[in-house]
Amino acid sequence: MHADADSLNEIARDLRLDILDTTTRAGSGHPSSSFSAVEILTALYFGGILRYRSVEPWWPERDRFIMSKGHAAPLLYPVLARAGYFERELIWKLRQIDSPVQGHPIYRMLPGVEATTGSLGQGLSLGIGHLLGGRLSSLSFRVYVLMGDGECEAGQVWEAAMAAAHFRMDSLTAILDYNKFQETGPISREMALEPLVEKWRAFGWFVDEVDGHDVMAVLQKLKALQEIKGRPQILIAHTIKGKGVSFVEADFTFHGRALTPEQAGRAREEILCS
C-alpha cells in the first residue's frame, strides 16, 4: 500500500474528526482514549502493515487486529469503514440501541471486529488463541493487539505475556498505548507500571519504543518487528491521552465523557489547524 507521511497524517486528522463528531452526537463514549491511538491504527490499517481483505472479512490468512482497549471503539469504527468493511453511514449510529456499533466492539456483529472487547485485560489472551488456532490449521497470519497502559494493571495481561513467550509467538505484536493515564488518574499514582521495558523483557519479549504520534516512525518500527524471530514483540508507543485537542489533553476526566457541542466546535478548529 502507498503510504507517505502527508496522506497518513491527513487520514489521522480525519479520524480525529470522526471520533469527535460521533461521540459528541452520541453524547457519550471515550474520545480521549480514541484520540490517543489514532496514529497507531492509521499505520496499521493504511500504512501497509496489516494484511486484510475488507471484501472478504473472514479470509483465513488475514492478519488479526484486536482492540483490547475496547473503549476506543469510536476510533476503530471509522477505521474499519475507511478500510472498506462497511458503509461509512454506520458510524453515526454509535451507541444507539440495536446498532452494530456499540460502545465497545462486538465480535460477529460487525465485519472486521476480531474479538469482543471492553472488559480490559483479555485481548492479548484472545490474540494468543487466534495464533494457536492458526497453528492447528497451518495458517501463517500475524496478530496485532492494542492495549492500554491502565489495562496492563490487569493480571491476565501478564499471564498472556508469559504464555506468548512460552509458545515462541513471533507472529504476535502487542502495541501499548502508553498515555500514562487510566480512568481515574495517572498510572504512576493508581498502579505504577515502571520499569515497563524491563518487565516485558523479563517475560521474554522483544521490546521497542516509539513516539506514538509520529505515524511514519510507528510504521517503520512495526515493519522492523515483523523480522524478529522466536519471540513475541511489544511496541511501547508513548502517547498523549486526548491528543490533538489541548483542553482534553489537559484534563483526564474526559475519559468516558463526550465533548459538548460547544466544546466540539473548539476542538474541531484545533484539529483542523494541526
Q: Residues in the site for Mg ion, rule: CB under 5 A? A: 148-150, 179, 181
By CB under 6 A, name the one of 33, 125, 171, 233 that touches ligand TPP.
Answer: 33
Alpha carbon of residue 57 to chain centroid? 19
Nearer to ligand TPP, 64 or 255 (CB): 255
Considering just the CA atoms, what is the radius of gyration of the chain in Å? 17
Burial 212-223 (b: 16+ CB within 10 A, else e): bbbbebbbebbe
Least distance to Mg ion from the beta carbon of 243, Å?
12
Least distance to ligand TPP from the beta carbon of 100, Å?
20
By CB under 6 A, name the one of 114, 149, 170, 249 that touches ligand TPP.
Answer: 149
CB 231 within 8 A of CB 170: yes
CB 78 within 8 A of CB 7: no
Nearer to ligand TPP, 93 or 257 (CB): 257
Q: What part of residues 44-63 is at the interface with ligand TPP (CB under 6 A)?
A: none
The contact mask relative to ligand TPP for 171-190 (x = CB under 6 A, - = no) is ------x-x-xxx-------
Nearer to ligand TPP, 118 or 232 (CB): 118
Q: Which of the choices ligand TPP, Mg ion, none does residue 52 contact, using the CB cut-off of 5 to 8 A by kind? A: none
Least distance to ligand TPP from the beta carbon of 255, Å?
6
Alpha helical stretches, state H, the chain = 5-26, 31-36, 38-46, 73-83, 123-136, 155-166, 187-190, 196-202, 215-225, 246-249, 261-273
CB 66 within 8 A of CB 143: yes
C-alpha cell at 244: 490533538
**Beta-bridge partner residues of 181:** 186
Q: Which of the choices ligand TPP, Mg ion, none does residue 121 contact, using the CB cut-off of 5 to 8 A by kind? A: ligand TPP
Q: Is 243 near ligand TPP (CB under 6 A)?
A: no
CB 8 within 8 A of CB 42: yes
Q: Measured at CB, which residue is nearest to ligand TPP? A: 148
Nearer to ligand TPP, 48 or 159 (CB): 159
Q: Is 120 near ligand TPP (CB under 6 A)?
A: yes
By CB under 6 A, name the one of 95, 221, 241, 243 that touches ligand TPP.
Answer: 241
Nearer to ligand TPP, 35 or 205 (CB): 35
Alpha carbon of residue 109 to chain centroid? 19
End-to-end Cα, the chain, rounded Å: 25
Q: Which of the choices ligand TPP, Mg ion, none does residue 114 contact, using the CB cut-off of 5 to 8 A by kind? A: none
Provide the 8-state DSSP code for 93: G
Least distance to Mg ion from the beta carbon of 191, Å?
11
CB 145 within 8 A of CB 114: no
3-state helix, strand, coil in the chain (%, to 5): 45, 10, 40
Binding site for ligand TPP (CB under 6 A): 33, 36, 69, 71, 118-121, 148-151, 177, 179, 181-183, 241, 255
